[in-house]
Amino acid sequence: MIRVLIFLVLIFALGLGFSWLAERPGELVVTVAGVRYQVTLMVAAVAIVAVVAAVMIIWWLLKSLWNSPRAVSRYFRARKRDRGYQSLSTGMIAAGAGDGALAHDMARQASKLLNSDQEPLLHLLEAQASLLDGDHDAARRKFETMLDDPETRVLALRGLYLEAERLKDHEAARHYAEEAAEQAPQLSWAANATLEMKTASGDWDGALGLLERQKSAHRVEKPAYDRRRAVLLTAKAMAVVDGDSVAAKNAALEANRLAPELVPAAATAAAALFRLSDLRKGSKLLEAMWKKQPHPDVSEAYVHARVGDSAADRLKRARRLQSIKQNHPESMMAVARAALEAGDFNQARDSVESVLRLQPSEGAYLLLADIEEQETGDQGRIRQWLSAAVRAPRDAAWTADGYVSEVWAPVSPVTGRIDAFEWRVPVERLGPLLEEPDFTRPAVSPVAVIAPVIAVEAIPEEEEPQPEEEAAEIIDVVEEEEAPVETVEAEPADEPVAEDGETAIPEKTSAADQPVAEADSEVEAKTNGAADDGDGAEEEKDEVLISRQPDDPGVEPDKDDEQVGQRFRLF
């Protein structure tokens, strides 16, 4: 476009010049060899322009003839180069699609048409084709060749890093990742891999330095940078808290400032302060964290803040935490644990029972079993609480990538990911699918199975647990009955409902319509293995229950027994 404008400007200037000469008449006289030539200025100007144009055309023709061999050679070179780039492009597409044969063909064709020294992508195509064919040694040689070219050095480091990871050569992988991170801190794969490797080896200072380079290269956002730095500083403080309490305190306090919600940072900072005899500042730090997020690690550090305290003093500190965060399960659990250590079993039991009313959990039932063991040693009740703990929801724990740990860690032991651990309830494993009942197996006596059902259902959670003999008897019977169950139901007109809104527990009636109390006494007698009428009565009840047809309504209940259920469960 600019050339067109310049050409138009020149034409316009020539037109103005000729117009100016036309308005000013004059003559040009030239004498050559005694001959005098006289012409007007307009003719002279046209002649001069024509001579100049002719000279330029002749010069262009002579130059074109002189440069024609070179121009022809350049044309064929350009055509060859275009074909080579076309082959290179087709080969890269084939390598990306996983077509190793086509990638190899295109690589050979491109190497013939292009100069590998001037086109480094040829090495990449050959390396990718070798990887597709499974020739990893040839691919590594190609990547090593690419290390000599500054343009492809980072690309070669990436390929060598992936090959080292495939061979499980972690030292070589770390070397390549560190070298790539030094040359190009903006590379996320190199920075993250080096950071994970440094953290896995405990090189916290090196990891912090690499994180600073990432920030300088503007490759990490400030919130993510603050969180990662807080995690690394917390890990560093935990590593040196026993040897250098001052350095641990400084690192943990900075981590707590960058991530106030990070519980391990606050707990580690408090532990360092306690080692430096700064009880007041460490306690205030834990109290502030307890207000935001009650956590067992915080309560453990707060209660055992001062070495040499008596159990009563630790109980007072636990009550202090409870006053800060009232009606919270963690506050009650902290008091219960401290009261158990102090020997105050009544307060420990009351606290645990309050937790069970708010949020039943496995840890609460286990703690209740510990209280029962130290206070009474009643094995029946201990087994009852342990059985309840098995069925209760699990407590929260430090989890990362499916791995459950008792303590916090800066990296995941599964994937090596930084800041992977979270405080949450672990994911439960799905159990095996229920098997269909095998009707070919012999029926099990219903007396031994109905007895624990009635005994367990009849006792609410808030009431006192049953005596030792009954609890032991129930657990023994439940452990013995593991066979698949068979259920025969007699469908009544209406489902009986108890006064508290729950479905009433059905009771079995014999042919003589014996009272419920007598049935219960018979159940207990047969479960305990009474010798007088155990076998005969059990067989009689089996016959009564099994011989009844599904559509048989059975013995019609009296009006007083209308609230008694008619459903029978045979296991």
3-27: pLDDT as tens digits: 888 888 888 887 887 788 777 777 7
pLDDT for residue 49? 83
Under the banding of pLDDT at 50, 70 and 90, the label for residue 433 is very low
Any alpha helices (H) in 411-480, and if so which ranges? Answer: 446-457, 468-480
Q: Which of 46-50, 99-103, 325-329, 528-532 has the lowest mean pLDDT?
A: 528-532
Summarised one tens digit per residue, pLDDT across range 236-260 is 999 999 889 999 999 999 999 999 9
Report, as an integer, the average pLDDT of 87-94.
Answer: 90
Positive/negative CA dihedral, 315, 316, 321, 323:
positive
Task: Please state, for a pLDDT cut of 90, what percent of the chain lies above it.
Answer: 36
> Which of 435, 450, 448, 454 lies closest to 569, judged by CA?
450
The answer on pLDDT for 368 being more than 90 is: yes
State how far Cα 559 lies from the chain centre. Answer: 62
The answer on pLDDT for 449 being more than 60 is: no
Positive/negative CA dihedral, 120, 122, 124, 127:
negative
Top-ranked range on mean pLDDT: pick from 192-201, 379-388, 492-501, 544-553:
379-388
Q: Are 362 and 392 in contact (CB under 8 A)?
A: yes
Summarised one tens digit per residue, pLDDT across range 48-73 is 888 888 999 999 999 888 988 888 88
pLDDT for residue 29? 82
Within 13 Å and on the Cβ side, how many CA atoms surround 517?
0
Please state the length of the chain: 571
pLDDT for residue 526? 42
The amino acid sitting at 371 is I
Q: What does the alpha-carbon distance between residue 8 and residue 76 come to, in Å, rounded to a whole number?
A: 35
The answer on pLDDT for 548 being more than 50 is: no
Within 13 Å and on the Cβ side, how many CA atoms surround 32?
3
Q: What does the alpha-carbon distance between residue 267 and residue 473 come to, in Å, rounded to a whole number?
A: 46
Report, as an integer, the average pLDDT of 458-481.
Answer: 40
The amino acid sitting at 101 is A
Give the bridge partners for 565, in sequence order. none
Mean per-residue pLDDT of the chain: 77
Q: Are 297 and 238 in contact (CB under 8 A)?
A: no
Q: What is the CA radius of gyration of the chain?
A: 46
Under the banding of pLDDT at 50, 70 and 90, the label for residue 516 is very low
Q: Are 321 and 344 in contact (CB under 8 A)?
A: no
Tokens found for residue 103 = 């990638």
Give the bridge partners for 503, in sequence order. 497
> Which of 271, 272, 252, 275 lies closest to 262, judged by CA?
252
Report, as an integer, the average pLDDT of 172-192.
Answer: 85
> Which of 257, 253, 300 lies closest to 281, judged by CA?
253
Q: Which of 124-128, 359-363, 412-416, 501-505 has the lowest mean pLDDT?
A: 501-505
| 308 backbone φψ class: left, alpha, beta (φ>0; ψ -120 to 50) | left
Within 13 Å and on the Cβ side, how many CA atoms surround 349?
15
Q: Are 390 and 374 in contact (CB under 8 A)?
A: no
Q: Which of 294-308, 334-348, 442-456, 477-491 has the lowest mean pLDDT?
A: 442-456
Burial class (CB in 10 A: 0-12, 13-18, 19+), 15: exposed
